[in-house]
């Protein structure tokens, strides 16, 4: 028995020395061109599948059929994903097909994953594959439109994909607006029909500029906007802000508002209650006030409500003035947040004043 353990110890030492030798000399190739051995590929895939299945359990999937949701997801996919995973109705990109492991051509494999598993993969990425995590940990809500798109991508044609990304090109709009912004925000700033995104038309130029710079620095959290803003130079940021600020906001209030919620929000704003700290909303957010603050009138109620929640949770971030909202949002409960959001969504904004006036 002693001889057995002695031989086993010697074998272990030999394997350890052999491993150290291989590590130090570099004789084991790490070149991607050789690919993985079949057994290595199987082990990595099996371990990855089991890990995703285990850690994604319990994730609750929301409704994924909101208006504009597919368009938002397609815009994010076009901006961040298709370069590795390919366009629906097309073929896998040639360059990334030579990675080890190669990124899967998603339209062919996306049905392999359950909806909650796709969310987990997009949010956290996968180690040793080149698949990055979502750019920010604070905005789970932004991931679901991309997941909604991925669930449709398997059977999607190239034409259907292009239709989701189509924009009505305004010949006067700066090229950067068409390329980087119009899919989700439209070339005129009226949005893509989703209540998840703000109406940029007629918004304060200084606020738009500060927001883009905050996204670019990572001070305002968004897995969608941070990568886009980070690619813009100062001149392009100025062009985007100036363009959208000069556009006329949509006529009339946001649709599908609850009249009772609107009235409740109006009454909240009329209260001079220092404990609530909400009667000052219009002092900062009216159309004639500080241009560093956003105009709230006519914004989608869902978007406004979500921003207040993000402030309460300290997950929004923003420009230097963003911290002012923390104390105010803390004093507003969830019901009051929805009421205030509905009220501001019901308001109509006047077209911006011409620069020549």
Other beta carbons less than 10 A from residue 275's beta carbon? 7
**pLDDT for res 354:** 52
pLDDT in tens, 16-59: 898 898 888 888 888 888 888 899 889 999 999 999 999 999 99
By the 10 Å C-beta count (0-12 exposed, 13-18 middle, 19+ buried), 185 is classed as buried
Q: Determine the CATH number of domain 67-163.
A: 1.10.760.10
Distances (CA, A) of 293 to 79, 207, 210, 290: 28, 6, 10, 6
CATH architecture of 259-345: Orthogonal Bundle (1.10)
Does 170-245 match 67-163 at the fold level? Answer: yes
> How confident is the model over 124-130, as a mean pLDDT?
93
pLDDT bin (cut points 50, 70, 90) of residue 331 is confident
112-141: average pLDDT? 95
Cβ–Cβ < 8 Å for 149, 142: no
> How much is the average pLDDT of 105-117?
91
Tabulate helix, strand, coil % of the chain (nearest 5). Answer: 55, 0, 45
- Determine the straight-line distance between the first and last CA of the chain, rounded to whole angstroms: 98
Lowest mean pLDDT among 85-89, 209-213, 267-271: 267-271
In the 3-class helix/strand/coil scheme, how is 250-266 assigned residue by residue? CCCCCCCCCHHHHHHHH
CA separation for the pair 190, 52 (Å, rounded)? 38
Position 74 pLDDT exceeds 90: yes
Q: Is the pLDDT of residue 272 over 60?
A: no
Whether residue 357 is predicted with pLDDT greater than 60 in this model: the reply is no
Q: What does the pLDDT read at residue 69?
A: 96
- Beta-ladder partners of 126: 131
Give the pLDDT confidence score for residue 327 in this predicted structure.
86
Question: Rounded distance, CA 154 to CA 109, Å?
Answer: 7
Average pLDDT over the chain, rounded to an integer: 89
State the pLDDT confidence band at 276, using cuts at 50, 70 and 90: low
Evaluate if residue 151 carries a pLDDT over 60.
Answer: yes
- In this prediction, residues 224-238 reach a mean pLDDT of 97
Please state which of the ranges 186-195, 284-293, 301-310, 330-339 shows the lowest mean pLDDT.
284-293
| Domain formed by 170-245, architecture | Orthogonal Bundle (1.10)
Q: What is the predicted pLDDT for the residue at 356? A: 46
304 against 279, higher pLDDT: 304
Q: If you average pLDDT over residues 86-113, what whole number do you get?
A: 89
Residue 348: pLDDT band with limits 50, 70, 90: confident
So what's the pLDDT on residue 212? Answer: 97
Q: Map out the domains of the chain as residue ranges.
A: 67-163, 170-245, 259-345
For position 351, what pLDDT does the model report? 67
Q: Once rounded to an integer, what is the mean pLDDT over residues 197-209?
A: 96
- The average pLDDT across 132-145 equals 96
């Amino acid at each position: 028995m002693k001889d057995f353990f002695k031989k086993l110890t010697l074998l272990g030492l030999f394997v350890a020395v052999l491993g150290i030798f291989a590590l130090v000399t570099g004789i084991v190739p790490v070149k991607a061109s050789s690919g993985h051995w079949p057994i290595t590929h199987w082990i990595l895939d099996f371990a990855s599948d089991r890990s995703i299945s285990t850690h994604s359990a319990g994730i609750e999937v929301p409704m994924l059929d909101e208006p504009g949701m597919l368009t938002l997801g397609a815009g994010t996919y076009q901006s961040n994903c298709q370069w590795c995973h390919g366009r629906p109705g097309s073929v896998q990109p040639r360059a990334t097909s030579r990675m080890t492991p190669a990124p899967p051509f998603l339209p062919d494999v996306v049905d392999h994953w359950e909806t909650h598993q796709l969310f987990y993969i997009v949010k956290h990425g996968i180690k040793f594959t080149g698949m990055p995590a979502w750019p920010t940990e604070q905005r789970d809500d932004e991931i679901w439109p991309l997941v909604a798109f991925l669930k449709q991508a398997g059977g999607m044609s190239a034409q259907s994909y292009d239709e989701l990304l189509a924009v009505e090109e305004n010949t006067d709009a700066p090229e950067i607006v068409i390329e980087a912004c119009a899919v989700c925000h439209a070339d005129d700033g009226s949005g893509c029909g989703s209540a998840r995104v703000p109406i940029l038309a007629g918004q304060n130029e200084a606020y738009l500029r500060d927001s883009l710079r905050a996204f670019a620095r990572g001070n305002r959290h968004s897995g969608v906007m941070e990568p886009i803003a980070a690619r813009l130079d100062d001149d392009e940021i100025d062009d985007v802000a100036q363009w959208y600020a000069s556009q006329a906001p949509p006529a009339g209030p946001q649709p599908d508002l609850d009249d009772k919620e609107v009235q409740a929000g109006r009454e909240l704003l009329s209260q001079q209650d220092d404990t609530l700290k909400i009667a000052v909303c219009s002092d900062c957010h009216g159309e004639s006030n500080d241009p560093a603050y956003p105009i709230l009138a006519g914004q989608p109620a869902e978007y406004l409500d979500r921003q207040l929640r993000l402030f309460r949770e300290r997950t929004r971030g923003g420009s230097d003035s963003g911290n002012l909202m923390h104390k105010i949002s803390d004093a507003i409960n969830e019901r009051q947040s929805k009421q205030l959001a509905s009220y501001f969504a019901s308001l109509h904004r006047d077209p911006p004043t011409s620069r020549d006036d």
